[in-house]
Amino acid sequence: MTQTSHSKNSKTNKKVAYTIISIGLILVFSVAVFTLLFQANNAPNLSTQNQPTVKITNFSINKGWSCVSGLVMDSSFNLTIENKGADNVTDLVLDIKMFHNNSELQIGNYFDGTSENGTITEPIKAGEVKEFRGTIMSIVGDEAYQYLSSNDTYIVAFVTFDNIILDQRRSE
pLDDT digits (tens, 9 = 90+) for 5-29: 556 666 677 777 677 777 776 767 6
Domain at 71, CATH number: 2.60.40.10
CA dist., res. 2 & res. 60, Å (int): 99
pLDDT in tens, 51-81: 899 999 999 999 889 998 889 999 999 999 9
Q: pLDDT band at 122, cuts 50/70/90?
A: very high
- One domain for residues 69 and 95: yes
Could you give the number of structural domains in the chain? 2
Taking Cα atoms as reference points, which of 168, 119, 118, 133 lies closest to residue 62?
133
Give the model's pLDDT for residue 44.
46
Do 99 and 168 contact (CB within 8 A), yes or no? no
The whole-model pTM stands at: 0.69
Q: pLDDT band at 4, cuts 50/70/90?
A: low
The answer, yes or no, to whether residue 101 has pLDDT greater than 90, is yes
- One domain for residues 26 and 84: no
Sheet of strand 153-161, all strands in order from the earlier edge strand to the far edge: 103-105, 92-100, 153-161, 164-170
Give the model's pLDDT for residue 2.
56
- One domain for residues 15 and 37: yes
Measured at the alpha carbon of residue 91, what is the angle toward residues 87 and 94, in degrees to the nearest 5?
A: 110
- One domain for residues 101 and 20: no
The answer, yes or no, to whether residue 154 has pLDDT greater than 70, is yes
- One domain for residues 94 and 156: yes
Which domain does 66 fall in, by range?
A: 51-170
